[in-house]
Amino acid sequence: MHKVVEQHLKDFKSRFGVAFDRDKSFEAFLSYCVLRIYSADNVQADTLTYDGDDPGIDGILFFVDDVYVSSIDEMKDVFKKSRRDVDVIIAMTQAKTSESWDKKEINAFQSAILDFLSDSPHYPHASYIAEKKELFDEIIKNVGKIRGGKPQIHCFFGTTARKTTAREITAAFRTLKRTVDDTGFFSDVVVVPVDRDHIIEMWDNADGPVEANLTVFASAPFPKTPGVEESYVVTARAKDFVRNVLSDKNDNLQKRIFEQNVRDYIGADAEVNAEILETLSHADKQKRFGMLNNGITIVSPDVRVQGNEFYLRNFQIVNGCQTSHLLFESRKELSEDVTVMLKVIETSEPAVVDEIVRSTNRQTKVQDDQFLATLDCMRSIEKFFNARGADEEHRLYFERRKNQFWNEDSTPAEIRVFDIKSIARCTGAMFFDKPDLASRYPNRLTGELSNMVFRSENVEDIHYTAAYASYRLQLLFSNQKIDSKYRQLKWHILMSIKYYVAGDGLPQPTSNKIRSVCAQIDKFMSGNDDETLARIQGICALYDPMDGADRDKLKVHSFIQEAKKKAVSAYIARRKEEESSAKSAKKKKI
């Protein structure tokens, strides 16, 4: 492996707590970099690769309208609830650490993809591949709801070699593209040879700072306002806005600049968007676009102005998501006369950002749960995390807003960062006995979870304790102290830990008495000794006799109740053992 790539791989492993061997870590590294091209969703990096039979595909990623979908329940839910055609992209990866290109390995990747797409595959498939095949089959069942009538597929073959123009290698990639295209499953087939410079660039772009330089026609400052460093109303050429603000280095739309926007892109077919698109499609109407459109609001902690040049760093588009997407989709038709109005606001105050998000979206019908990040409940949880993590061992980060902890000098390890969705899953699994919801919808915050977890009456301790237990459990998985076969049971294990430590008949999450339970769990999960590890391994082993715990069984209420019963029984046995030991020790003293 090339030394520079190896160093980036070490950084990746450190940041995400990945403890695989070099080859397996590189597989996860490439898949993570690919995922970041299409989605800003948070993921656990070690879930992007797998153990078991490897047919020649290292990673399979599914994206529906910029959202990463990794479970069959999520995929079914997407198509069930969608009221319009969606964009679907399937990304497949194969990663090789060698510093040379190998035609045979490219051919093996091609063969594995074709076998995956076949109705009668011949290669052995690990459970990971089998589950991805279910997602693919669900997509094919719903092609009538996919824009263009078919999904797209993007195939990434990565090495640490230099870029090559060798005829046999380029021919192998052309053959890969042609044979996958010949299956007829896809509207577009993209094959990406990833050399060492390319993967370094992908990693740099994955989570680094977002920067933009924009030349404007004119700008006017707003008066000074408390909490706002400076702010402007700006008129810019739409083409420049698309090229310099919306697009990344590879001319792809930067998905992560919309993380703080309360509305996802609803597609060109929506009534309001169809009107915007109609304006952009006519040369005469284009010229009036800047006057007809309400404009776009950009918030940034770092805005620098020199004449008609604006520099923005780590900025977010908090209003104007629809307009931005439509401008990007129409970029080839935009004339030099099309203008766009922008509000550019420099502030680092979370409360001010919240106020801007709320006020700039008042004119649109936005569901209450889309304002989740601005609720007082979220701020309370954030403050509790900051206060609770006084020492480094217990330091966790509640990411109320995307990338709020990103800093070039001291970015925290990703394994210690929990966003709103992660907290909902951890807390829902541990304190509300809903591990089934957490496992079925790994990348989406369901209304059922959010409504029960983020009640203002709930004691803040439960969120930290659930996150801390999840963090410690993830460390044990990453360091291979717990068998990876239990990974799919992580959310059920969190629930079992609670019952093993504190027993049954626990206080409600709204009661102050739950704090003592949280303290017990924190103390238990903090243990670094062999006895604690053995106890946690024992909790995992409670699931061994449960007839294999396949994915469908994890959803069944009776399975959850059986898991609870076993954990409570283990608690009773542990308490009896401790009482017996205490009596023996007392007798010895006498």
pLDDT of residue 443: 61
Residue 102 lies in a domain: yes
Residues 152 and 265 in one domain: no
* Cβ atoms within 10 Å of 181's Cβ, excluding its own: 15
Nearest to 91 by CA among 158, 151, 155: 155
Residues 215 and 234 in one domain: yes
pLDDT < 70 regions, the chain: 83, 262-264, 268-270, 361-375, 390, 402-403, 406-410, 442-447, 545-555, 585, 587-590
Residue 590 lies in a domain: no
**Pairwise CA distance, residues 93 & 193, whole Å:** 10
Task: Tell me what percent of the residues of the chain surpass a pLDDT of 90.
Answer: 53
Residue 88 lies in a domain: yes
Residues 358 and 379 in one domain: no
- Per residue in 175-206, pLDDT (tens digit) is 999 999 999 999 999 999 999 999 999 998 88
What's the residue count for the chain? Answer: 590
Residues 321 and 424 in one domain: no
pLDDT of residue 374: 46
pLDDT of residue 482: 92
Residues 213 and 316 in one domain: yes
* Cβ atoms within 10 Å of 480's Cβ, excluding its own: 10
- Per residue in 297-344, pLDDT (tens digit) is 999 999 999 999 999 998 999 888 889 999 998 998 899 999 999 999
* Cβ atoms within 10 Å of 154's Cβ, excluding its own: 20
Residues 94 and 189 in one domain: yes
Nearest to 92 by CA among 197, 200, 185, 204: 185
Residues 383 and 441 in one domain: yes
Give residues with Cβ within 8 angstroms of 564, minimum separation 6.
Answer: 433, 495, 496, 499, 504
Residues 311 and 455 in one domain: no
HEC readout, 72-92: HHHHHHHHHHCCCCECEEEEE
HEC readout, 82-125: CCCCECEEEEEEEECCCCCCCHHHHHHHHHHHHHHHCCCCCCCC
pLDDT of residue 462: 96
Residues 316 and 417 in one domain: no
Domain enclosing residue 328, as ranges: 209-366
CB 35 within 8 A of CB 71: no
State the DSSP string of 255-301.
Answer: GGGGTT-SS----TTSHHHHHHHHHHTSHHHHTTHHHHS--EEEEES
Residue 587 lies in a domain: no
pLDDT of residue 554: 65
β partners of residue 199 = none
**Pairwise CA distance, residues 419 & 206, whole Å:** 17
Strand order in the sheet with 188-194: 67-69, 59-64, 88-95, 152-158, 188-194
pLDDT of residue 341: 96
State the pTM of this model: 0.75
State the DSSP string of 28-40.
Answer: HHHHHHHHHHH--
Residue 588 lies in a domain: no
The two three-digit tokens of residue 80, written as one number? 């069930």
Please identify, among 310, 337, 366, the residue that sits at the C-terminal boundary of a domain.
366
Residue 136 lies in a domain: yes
What total number of domains does the chain contain? 3
pLDDT of residue 18: 83
Residue 589 lies in a domain: no
Q: Is 577 helix (H, G, I), strand (E, B) or coil?
A: helix
Residue 21 lies in a domain: yes
**Pairwise CA distance, residues 320 & 297, whole Å:** 6
**Pairwise CA distance, residues 590 & 585, whole Å:** 9
Strand order in the sheet with 302-306: 302-306, 309-313, 211-221, 230-237, 339-346, 296-300, 316-319
Element (H, E) at 310: strand 309-313
For all residues of the chain together, what is the average pLDDT?
87
Residues 134 and 273 in one domain: no
Residues 397 and 418 in one domain: yes
Please identify, among 347, 366, 385, the residue that sits at the C-terminal boundary of a domain.
366
Please identify, among 172, 206, 240, the residue that sits at the C-terminal boundary of a domain.
206
Q: Is 147 helix (H, G, I), strand (E, B) or coil?
A: helix
Residues 337 and 462 in one domain: no
